[in-house]
Structure 1
């Protein structure tokens, strides 16, 4: 992600908006601290999607998948009884 100071962003706003329009993300800093991030629409920090996929999606060539929902997966049975790593090591070494 490209980083730009607040003053530089203000002075060259149009150029940075063109970069964001092209799919790049920009972190905005104020006195060395990131205070904002500029992202293309639909590309939020929680859903980082590669720029190439965003472009393909906008052109209708790919469709984004549904969110992964843990509820649809059944819980798996435990393979080992509840034990400590010490018990496992002793059993492995034959000292237990």
Structure 2
């Protein structure tokens, strides 16, 4: 008779790994929904506020990132335009 606490863990293939991760995520989500049903009103409100706050933070981060990328691209455009302007001036002066 084998002791049950020593069970062999076989290395999972990539496919199995993603499936098991998905299963964990789904079961966690299910637990959260079940909790949400059994929570008192106050706790549910607190949790909702927390989730809203987190989503707001995430949205702000996304906006900052997009603003930053816009700034970067406009800066590089300005640099390109400046160099293009220099080459045009040179051509007009007859030098290459």
Q: What is the TM-score with the length of structure 1 in the denominator? A: 0.22
Larger radius of gyration: 2
Q: Whose helix fraction is larger, Structure 1's or Structure 2's?
A: 2
Q: What is the TM-score with the length of structure 2 in the denominator? A: 0.22
- Larger RCO of the pair (alpha carbons < 8 Å, separation 6+): 1
Q: Whose strand fraction is larger, Structure 1's or Structure 2's?
A: 1
